[in-house]
């Protein structure tokens, strides 16, 4: 009977479950090609999973960046509205009409564009309602 030598080197002296080669005829054979394929398959799967997670993260970052841009643009608009000229005290819940003067400055008025009569002295920009949190809502065209 000829036995095939699969391992060359000193014989393993530890416990069987730690052996780098099968120590029992009932133990599964350990093939280096199979082991290399298993490692390669695991690498491919882990790379695919990491790529998918990174793509998801990149998409979330893109959405957050867009949301941040919208928030900053909205904040700039609210700040511009608060800096508009106004000769009365603005109260939350009330609607005010915004006009642009010929020199480009913005001014709030209690008089709506349809209340001026035949001619409006300024360019009508829109009607805005001041909310309790000091933000503005454009209510131009909404029913009163």
Domain residue limits, the chain: 84-138
Strand order in the sheet with 136-138: 106-109, 95-100, 123-130, 136-138
Q: Encoding tokens for residue 88?
A: 């009365």
Determine the pLDDT at residue 38: 85
How many whole angstroms separate alpha carbon 16 and alpha carbon 30? 13
| pLDDT at residue 12 in the model | 67
Mean pLDDT to the nearest integer, 17-45: 76
What is the reported pLDDT for 39?
A: 86
123 CB neighbour count, 10 Å cutoff:
13
Total-model pTM:
0.61
Give the mean pLDDT of the chain.
86
Torsion of CA 123, 100, 96, 134, to 10 degrees: 150
111 token code pair: 């008089």
């Amino acid at each position: 009977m000829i036995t095939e030598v699969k391992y060359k080197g000193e014989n393993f002296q530890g416990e069987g479950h730690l052996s780098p080669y099968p120590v029992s005829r009932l133990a599964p054979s350990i093939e280096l090609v199979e082991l290399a394929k298993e490692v390669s398959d695991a690498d491919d799967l882990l790379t695919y999973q990491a790529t998918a997670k990174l793509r998801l993260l990149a998409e979330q970052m893109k959405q957050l960046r867009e949301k941040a841009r919208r928030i900053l643009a909205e904040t700039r608009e609210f700040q511009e509205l608060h800096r508009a000229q106004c000769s009365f005290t603005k109260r939350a819940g009330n609607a005010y009409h915004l006009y642009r003067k010929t020199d480009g400055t913005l001014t709030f008025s209690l008089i709506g564009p349809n209340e001026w009569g035949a001619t409006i002295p300024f360019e009508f920009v829109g009607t805005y309602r001041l909310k309790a949190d000091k933000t503005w809502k454009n209510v131009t065209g909404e029913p009163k």
